[in-house]
Amino acid sequence: MKLMSIAGARPNFMKIASIAKAIENYNNNLPATAALQSKIDHVLVHTGQHYDKKMSQSFFDDLGIPQPDINLEVGSGSHAHQTAEIMRAFEPVLLRESPDILLVVGDVNSTIACCLVGSKIQYTAESKRERPVIVHVEAGLRSYDRSMPEEVNRILTDSLSDVLFITEESAKDNLLKEGIVSEKIHFSGNVMIDTLKNHLKHAEKSGIKQDLGVSSLYGLVTLHRPSNVDSPEILKDLVDTLLTISKKKSLVFPVHPRTRNNLERFSLYSKLEESSDIILSGPLPYLDFLNLTMGADLVITDSGGIQEETTYLNIPCVTLRENTERPVTVDVGSNYLIGTDKERILQTTDIILSGQGKKGTIPKFWDGKSGERIIATLVSLNNNF
């Protein structure tokens, strides 16, 4: 079985790490007599959607992911430009390699671009398949907000995929409502949590707190969604809110490049720099960021993946969005879905800092074995593809 997996942006790397590890374990545990016939040939493609070293290469280094077999080196651009460039660069790669399975993860432009190519490709007559079986890991998540580019990517990818692996029960309901047959859906759990569990001890050794001068009591902040950082009015309110919170709890804020550009453009970055209660940094490697997350008293974010990580770690998470595609983090976990209203944010953080925050639990199958379930399922299905 030849399996090609796609990594393009930061969250992809953390998910692919689990898949790559599961493939390695599967191959290593094959009986010697069956190894040649049954081994999984894994081809890893990096689209280059994230090209900053701290947001790309360091994830391969930190997470022990094999160096990509192919790097498309697409780089940045508008959604249309980036998606088109990935499709253009990926098509000849897919034809040349002709994998049995094309595995995509998450909801970034690389996910839908490679999925579209795979769904329309026509292998040569010598190939044993007409096209690859398309597998989507982390399928069925819905925010029901189509102004989010990720939501469009999720819906289209799921509609084109042959096998869909879900992280929570709500995802199955979403897929069934969209007419996807239940036979295609498999509850694997969360590969992001596999990677987190596998790297907790490594993250504990990070010296990032000493490097940044972080005390033992702090909150962690991330902001990157266009709806929050592209509007000068919303971003100004969020900066003012963070400055208010920082008077009660010092904050560490690794600033995404897009966010920093807008903070500087709207003359807001200097306000954060002048605060003695907010520590700013650039983007951080995975292990350093995980170290900060593990030690935080609360996390303030608009990220999807961080909602999951904090739920597993049982750290209160204040999500600055009106919706979430990961409702289990709110229903079962430690996540608060707040929006961007300053008073709501301050009320919620006050509750958390007073020790009255809710006590979350870990969702079903968030146990570090999701990658193994995915590979076991694909191996069992392979003869029927």
Angle 187-189-191 from CA coordinates, rounded to 5°:
130
Label residue 229 left, alpha or beta by phi (over 0 means left) and psi (-120 to 50 means alpha). Answer: alpha
d(CA 139, CA 166): 5
Angle 313-22-167 from CA coordinates, rounded to 5°:
45
Q: DSSP letters of 132-143? A: PEEEEET-S---
d(CA 229, CA 276): 22
d(CA 201, CA 198): 8
**Largest CA-CA distance found in the chain, in angstroms, rounded:** 67
User: In the prediction, which pLDDT does 85 show?
Assistant: 96
Residues 151, 346: contact at Cβ < 8 Å? no
Q: Which two tokens stand for residue 74?
A: 């697409």
Neighbours of 53 (CB within 10 A): 12
User: In the prediction, which pLDDT does 297 show?
Assistant: 96
Residues 113, 102: contact at Cβ < 8 Å? no
Spell out the per-residue pLDDT of the chain, length 385, in tens.
Answer: 999 999 988 788 889 999 999 999 999 999 876 666 689 999 999 998 765 555 556 667 778 777 889 999 888 888 999 999 999 999 999 999 999 999 999 999 999 999 999 999 999 887 888 999 999 999 999 999 999 999 999 999 999 999 999 999 999 999 999 999 999 999 999 999 999 999 999 999 999 999 999 988 999 999 999 999 999 999 999 999 999 999 999 999 999 999 999 999 999 999 999 999 999 999 998 999 999 999 999 999 999 999 999 999 999 999 999 999 999 999 999 999 999 999 999 999 999 999 998 889 999 999 999 999 999 999 999 877 7
Domains of the chain: 2-190+366-382 (3.40.50.2000), 200-353 (3.40.50.2000)
User: In the prediction, which pLDDT does 48 show?
Assistant: 87
SS3 label, residue 201: helix
Is 81 part of the annotated catalytic residue set?
no
Q: What is the CA radius of gyration of the chain?
A: 21
Percent helix, strand, coil in the chain, to 5, is: 50, 15, 40
Q: DSSP letters of 262-330? A: HHHHTT-HHHHHT-TTEEEE----HHHHHHHHHH-SEEEE--SHHHHHHHHHT--EEE-SS--S-THHH
Of the candidates 42, 79, 199, 224, the residue annotated as catalytic is 224
Comparing CA positions, the residue from 141, 140, 160, 110 lying closest to residue 4 is: 110
User: In the prediction, which pLDDT does 50 show?
Assistant: 67
d(CA 1, CA 172): 27
What's this model's pTM, rounded to 2 decimal places? 0.93
Contacts of 379 (CB under 8 A, 6+ apart): 1, 26, 38, 40
User: In the prediction, which pLDDT does 56 show?
Assistant: 53
